[in-house]
A and B are shown apart, each in its own frame.
Chain A
Amino acid sequence: MSRAESGPLTRFGVPLVVTGAAIVVGYLFSVGLDGYFVYLGMSAIVAGIALLGLGVVTGSAGMVSLCQLTFAAVGAWVVSGLNRIGAPGGFLVWLVCGGIAAGLVGVLVGLPALRLRGINLAVVTLGLAAAADLTLVQIQFPGTVDGVSVERPESFSDDRGYFWLGTIVLALCCLLVHFLRRTRWGSGWQAVAFSERGTAAAGASVRTSKLSAFAVSAALGGVAGGLLTGQVGLAFPASFTAMQSLALYVLAIMSGAHLIDMAVFGAVLWVAVPELLKRWGVPQDWGFVVFGLLGTHALTTGGNLGTAVRELWRRRSKEAAGVELTAPPAEVDVPPPGEPVLVVRDLSVNFGEVKALSGVHLAVPSNGVLGVIGPNGAGKSTLVDIISGFLPQATGAVELDGRSLNGLSPTRRARAGLRRTFQQDRVPAGLTVGAYVRFVARRRLSSSEITEALEFFGCPPARTPLRRVDVGARRLVEVVGHLLAKPKVLLLDEPAAGLPHEEHVALGARLRQVPARFGVSVLLIEHDLDLVRSVCDTITVLDFGQVLASGPQAEVLANPEVLKAYMGETELL
């Protein structure tokens, strides 16, 4: 089985071909369909672009946004305002301006949301939607009162032509979202939805990830609003109510709008459900009741249409991918450890009355592996948290290559060349192995470089989706990503947890080669003494938050104090 990702031709060619095909189909629809369906289709296109935006913010980045149509209203406002004053450039330029303006408003609303998550953002956006609702009714859109209707571009001036323009804009927006999701931004959205700490540890800014998701979503909303204004000619507040924003949100959750095809399908539902109800003589308000019921169902069961369909598709072929660490790795020359590259002095932290760590000194040699061991609750993970910057209240000094890291955020420390992995699963399931490794590595990597590193650790191939990778293997993929970032030091927090015991030693043999192969020094926290013995030249033992012993492996492991702390007194008898 090939471990490589698909080539650039497939990665760029296929989406472009699909977009071209969609535009052709749009043209065929625009000339072939009945006039009424062209009108309905246009409404679906507008909803589709708005849903695409919601897919980014709620689906990918995991935030609750309840004001998508408020952003649409900003776009509509800008388009009708520019039309009213006869601004140069024509409709298409105004449409882009509308999108940009909505994106900026998105940034403004998103700024307070940076440190807010989940439900607080929902409160903020609902508040904005409600306020905008009342305000729009009072001040109306420019040109609406005096009846100046928005001029469409000349070549798309009739309804059929405008529908085709709509499909082109929709197709381009889909293409944009598709490629954005494959950039660092897009990986950042997935990562921040899964874990903020994991995102920061990969050297990505949590702030940028959240804000870019919100801005892209708002900009798409703005484009939808501008397009709607061109369709109707005049913008009315009734098109942008808080109610409809809520319904779009529920629809986005229900259909799984983070998947592009599902956003388009959701848009078809948005138009088809009320239309069908109308044909059956049922009041159209039942449409929202249907959405409400389906949305409640989707939220309580935690599933959505898009993933359900995909699960059906995949079920036949594949099962979970794991680690294959059987064969011993090829021998390399292990150079002797050098001068300390990471030095920690007098590190202390208290949680309330509890002294979690006090006065800890340690040094990680360059080209070496330092093992940190100790019984449960000795403060090992706290130590990693402090060194990587997640506990700013800690005192003491952390120096990397002679440079002080004190006061730097986790993101800055990661960028400075100090990386860490987590004991818990912090790997976002929405990405492929390759995309995640590229995201974590933060530098240009060739496919062969990724393949080689994955093979070395026995990880699944780069194109496997992480959701099909078992937890033990995910944590090794995390290790691979951080190693490919070529940091100066990598802190590994129990990398073997989640692997079967017989593979611990095989992993150890590979970790021992890490300094030689990747040029990275390692601080290894581990419970498994066999693993530590096979990897570490020097060992530091923690007990009750203090350094109990430190030095060459044999010396430390023979220390009776260490044996007592580690094995318990009875074992010594």
Chain B
Amino acid sequence: MLQGALAGLAAGGLYAVLAVCLTLMSRLVRVVNFAQSATGMFGCYVAVYLSVHAGLPTWAATVVGILLGGALSALLGWIISTWLAEADIGTRSAVTVAVLLLLISLSFILFGNKPQPFHPILDGPAFSVNGVVVSQVTVVTVVLSVAIAVGCRALLGRTSFGLELRALSERPTTAELMGIPAKPLAVAVWAVTGLLSTLVISIVAPSQSNDATSLSMLVVPAAAAALLGGFRRLDLAVVGGLVLGMAQGAVAQVDSLSVVRYFLPFLVIVGLLLWSQRKEVWDVAR
């Protein structure tokens, strides 16, 4: 059980980073980005292609892939903040559903629908606890998720840049009237979350099931984790991601529970939604 839970921690770190990205997007640019992990997947696949077919060194290919993930995300953000600036969160998010479909099918066309021959960036054990090995990937993703959450929190809470971002998310029109450049800031948020999710997927993908659909559907457990923080709190998003990953790892140890493992994120989502919305009754205030 402990071994399974620790093995699941790498995935947990991945969920946590993606959940932090989802939370940031939802808070700052009013989108639940269903294409969050698909963007990362696409960047990673391009990186694999560059290193296998174009002969680029792994690190260089990975950097290009991460930059591409950021650029893709920024492009999507530019489209949404140009044409759907005033739309509600539902419409804005529905666009990302179409983009999710687009990215998966595009990757089928360009790279086929088999898992990719990833070169691991990090490999091997970091240390062991009671004879249970903890891999480098696990350590890096967990540290990364906590670092990103703490970093974002400090950025949002302590800097004037963060203040502008919060103003923009809470009172977009007032913020624009005060001369805060809304669109460039929104696109920047999209770009950064694109970079982060591509980075963490490049680290974890070599040791996971890494076909295009599996990687794109990582957005489901990530959303479950983000829901623990109500798409508002970064700390709870990280905790949710890590716990969900460990729970899935632990359940995976028992063969008869494998179906439960698949349904775990779904059940967590339903449970959290029911709990968090138990009081809210009406769609609008008046």
Contact = CB atoms under 8 A, between A and B. Distances in A.
B270 A300 contact: no
A246 B101 CA distance: 6
A285 B223 CA distance: 27
Contact of B90 (A64, A128, A283, A392): A64
Contact of B284 (A133, A197, A242): A197
A564 interface: no
Interface string B76-102: 000110011001111101110111111
Interface in B1-37: 32, 34
Nearest to A195: B283
B98 A295 contact: yes
A499 B274 CA distance: 42
Interface stretch (A113-121, A147-155, A328-336, A524-532): A113-121
Interface string A85-99: 000000000000000
A159 interface: no
A283 B109 contact: yes
Contacts of B101: 243, 246-247, 250, 288, 291-292, 295
Interface stretch (B136-144, B164-172, B260-268): B260-268
Interface string A236-268: 000001110011011001000000000000000
Contact of A64 (B94, B223, B282): B94
Given A130-B217, A381-B286, A299 B227 contact: no
Interface string A62-85: 001010000000000000000000
Interface of A is mostly: helix
Interface string A119-136: 110111011101101110
B66 interface: no
Contact of A196 (B98, B258, B283): B283
Given A115-B280, A300-B79, A122 B217 contact: no
A384 B103 CA distance: 49
Given A135-B263, A139-B259, A390-B282, A293 B273 contact: no
Contacts of A560: none
A302 interface: yes
B266 A131 contact: yes
A246 B258 contact: no
A135 B32 contact: no
B94 A299 contact: yes
A385 B284 CA distance: 13
Contacts of A246: 97, 100-101
Contacts of A289: 102, 105-106, 109
Given A116-B273, A118-B90, A122-B34, A128 B97 contact: no
A190 B94 CA distance: 19
Interface in B64-78: none
A253 B108 CA distance: 23
A197 B283 contact: yes
B95 A296 contact: yes
Contacts of B48: none
B99 A130 contact: no
Contact of B265 (A116, A127, A133, A243): A127
Contacts of A296: 79, 95, 98-99, 102
Nearest to B80: A300
A328 to B, nearest CB: 34
Given A135-B263, A197-B283, A119 B93 contact: yes
Interface in B91-134: 91, 93-95, 97-106, 108-109
Contacts of B160: none
A117 B280 CA distance: 11
Given A243-B213, A283-B109, A292-B105, A124 B94 contact: no
Interface size, A (range): 35 or more
Contact of B273 (A64, A120, A291, A392): A120
Contacts of B108: 285
B224 interface: yes
Interface in A373-412: 381, 385, 390, 392
A326 interface: no
A156 interface: no
B281 A115 contact: yes
A338 B88 CA distance: 48
A299 B217 contact: no
Nearest to B93: A119
Contacts of B32: 119, 122-123
Nearest to B104: A243
Given A120-B273, A296-B98, A130 B220 contact: yes
Contact of A123 (B79, B227, B284): B227
A300 B83 contact: yes
A122 B31 CA distance: 12
A13 interface: no
A119 B90 contact: yes
Nearest to A301: B83
A259 B211 CA distance: 37
B269 interface: yes
Given A112-B273, A296-B99, A241 B284 contact: no
A286 B109 contact: yes
Contact of B89 (A119, A138, A241, A293): A119
Contacts of A250: 97-98, 101
A390 B285 CA distance: 10
A426 to B, nearest CB: 10
A128 B266 contact: yes
Contacts of A247: 101
Contact of B270 (A112, A117, A138): A112
Contacts of A286: 105, 109
A291 B105 CA distance: 10
Contacts of A392: 281
B259 A135 contact: yes
Contact of B262 (A116, A135, A299): A135
A66 B97 contact: yes
Contact of A124 (B99, B102, B219, B266): B266
30 contacts: A64-B94, A112-B273, A115-B278, A116-B277, A117-B90, A119-B89, A120-B273, A120-B277, A124-B269, A124-B270, A126-B223, A127-B224, A127-B265, A131-B265, A135-B262, A138-B258, A195-B283, A196-B283, A197-B282, A197-B283, A242-B217, A285-B109, A287-B105, A288-B101, A289-B109, A292-B98, A300-B83, A301-B83, A302-B91, A390-B282
Q: Which 4 A-B pairs have the closest CB atoms?
A: A292-B102, A288-B105, A118-B90, A295-B98
Interface of B: 32, 34, 79-80, 83-84, 87-91, 93-95, 97-106, 108-109, 213, 217, 219-220, 223-224, 227, 258-259, 262-263, 265-266, 269-270, 273-274, 277-278, 280-284, 286
Interface of A: 64, 66, 112, 115-120, 122-124, 126-128, 130-131, 133-135, 138-139, 195-197, 241-243, 246-247, 249-250, 253, 283, 285-289, 291-293, 295-296, 299-302, 381, 385, 390, 392, 424
Given A66-B97, A126-B223, A300-B80, 10 more contacts: A118-B89, A122-B90, A123-B223, A127-B266, A135-B259, A196-B283, A246-B97, A296-B95, A296-B99, A301-B83
